[in-house]
Structure 1
Amino acid sequence: MTLSEELRSGLSDRGACVVGYADLSGVPEESRWGYGYGIIIAVELTPCIISGIENGPTPEYYDEYLRVNTLLNSLGEYAEGLLKNKGFEALALTQKVVEIHPETKSTRLPHKTVATRAGIGWIGKNAMLITRERGSAIRLTSVLTNCPLEAGIPINGSRCGSCTVCRDSCPGGAITGREWNVEMERAELYDAFKCRKTARERSRRIGVDESLCGLCILKCPWTQRHLEKLQHKT
């Protein structure tokens, strides 16, 4: 078993639904802490909870948000530890490490950047990662390393086409409706401040002082296909 296979197996056993590897050489070195490779780890959001946020975030959705974040931190730390035990350098981008810039509401290296470099999905018009298998009903974390992992083929462009469902559904009017490509700035896709302001207003209805909304996750046709497939299976 290669190290890439060992990592994927161990992370999957612990709750990851997708594990991918990225060559980050095309990303500015200062953004990636000087590391050359990245591991993207995805955890699936519970489908019945996502289906229940049509009219706004629910207490169950907030509990899911906390559960998944805790799991992602644990998975990142597991991968970091395994790589270090093998003699490599590694840095898990957990919530303790990642800082959100107050003026831009952006991070040094978004997890979704690692995800597109690993080829597991593209950036949707909602500025979130979208995968063919689960739409955007996932949450992400990433780990940086100097270990030469078996990198996937990067995705450099959107596969949303003419769809504007997320733009039309956004209660904050934060989404521009433009199609993503790897050269775009985030602000060309959506207004992070409008998004956070509206999401916080919606989450306060359930007594939560967080920026939670999730409507663009639910409304995305790729997410809907995923939910419909699961309904047919049951």
Structure 2
Amino acid sequence: MRVIELLENLSDIYGIADFNKNKDELIESYGEDICRYPYAIAIGHKMIEEIIEKIPLTYNDDKLAQEYLDEYFNSHQRVSEIAGKIANLIQEEGYHAVILDVSGKSEELNLKQSFSNKASANLAGIGWLGKNNLLTTEEFGPRLTWATILTDMPLSDYAGEPMESLCDECTICVKACPGKAIIDDSNPKISYNPEKCGEFLFKRRDEGHPVACGMCLYICPFGNSKVEQLTR
């Protein structure tokens, strides 16, 4: 299939979610429009490794902090461009394709709330929500940005199943979080506190620093060979 071939060529990781399998839950959270099309293509794109590896230095170097912040937004732009190419091919094949932007919205859909691109990746079976509430994959960890395409192209043969968390007893991100925004709990809705995370970032901003952190993204042993070796 041409679409699958293009996904393999352009994305670092991808998966297909069959929304019919979780239809009631999705509609309850986002409204009827989220299931207007039965399949979601989750596209993962790696952030630049050299920039991620400098995250521990960003707390004392505003230039590096700004570099990471810029890469965060630039990577979203890159994955959006990939999604656009995939969507164009789907439409050329005679099917519908709706891209959910970085904020999880589309002018074509009337949603109760912004859709989580992390949710499509999890339902597609390519990752799980870690204790830091970031979509984490075995190969790349949480060092990815995501885009979602909703479509009626028949993709059932490629659809995955939701992935269970592999965080287990690991508490590295809990201990490393400078804002104390993560606790040791298997449920990311409980383990991650967005208010505390925001408080830390805004404090940094008020002190005149770029609004950037990313320590939980950097320190995760998945996708980080140095930390993985230490944990072993």
TM exceeding 0.5: yes
CA 1:205–1:220 in 2, change beyond 3 Å: closer, same or farther?
farther
Of 159, 181, 197, 1:174 maps to 181
Deviation string for 1:157-211 (max 9, x for gaps)? 211110111111112221122114xxxxx53231122222323433666754x5x
2:92 equivalent to 1:85: yes
2:20 aligned with 1:37: no
| Corresponding residue for residue 139 of structure 1 | 145
Do the aligned residues in 2 keep the contact of 1:91 with 1:145 (CA within 8 Å)? yes
Residue among 69, 93, 110 paired with 1:62: 69
Structure 2 distance, partners of 1:224, 1:179, is 21
Q: 2: distance between equivalents of 1:187 and 1:87?
A: 39
Q: How many residues were matched structurally?
A: 211
CA change 1:60–1:109 in 2 (3 A) is same
Could you tell me whether the CA contact under 8 Å between 1:59 and 1:206 is conserved in 2? Answer: no
Name the TM-score, length of structure 2 as normaliser. 0.80
Secondary structure of the residue aligned to 2:84 is helix
The separation in 2 between residues aligned to 1:205 and 1:137, in whole angstroms, is 27
Please give the secondary structure, in 2, of the residue aligned with 1:133.
coil
Inter-CA distance 196–151: structure 2 relative to 1 (3 Å threshold): farther
Aligned-pair CA distance for 1:94: 1.4
- The residue that corresponds to 1:183 in the other structure is none
Match of 1:124 in 2: 130
1:107 deviation in Å?
5.1
Instruction: Give the partner amino acid of 1:223.
Output: G
User: Is the contact made by 2:14 and 2:43 (CA closer than 8 Å) also made in structure 1?
Assistant: yes
For the residue of structure 2 that corresponds to 1:43, the secondary structure is strand
Conservation of the 8 A alpha-carbon contact between 1:47 and 1:227: no
* Cα pair distance change 1:79/1:48, threshold 3 Å: same
For the structure 1 residues 133 and 195, does the alpha-carbon distance in structure 2 shift closer, same or farther, using more than 3 Å as the test? same
The CA distance in 2 between the partners of 1:18 and 1:145, in whole Å, is: 18
Give the number of the structure whose residues are more often helix, by fraction: 2
Please, which runs of 5 or more residues in structure 2 have no aligned partner?
107-111
Q: How does 1:3-22 map to 2 (within 5 A)?
A: 3-9=2-8, 12-13=9-10, 16-22=11-17
Deviant stretches of 4+, over 6 Å = 226-229
Q: Deviations over 1:136-175 (max 9, x none)?
A: 1111111111112143432342111101111111122211
Residue 54 of structure 1: SS of its match in structure 2? helix
The amino acid of 2:189's aligned partner reads A
Q: Which runs of 5+ in 1 are unaligned?
A: 100-105, 181-185, 230-234
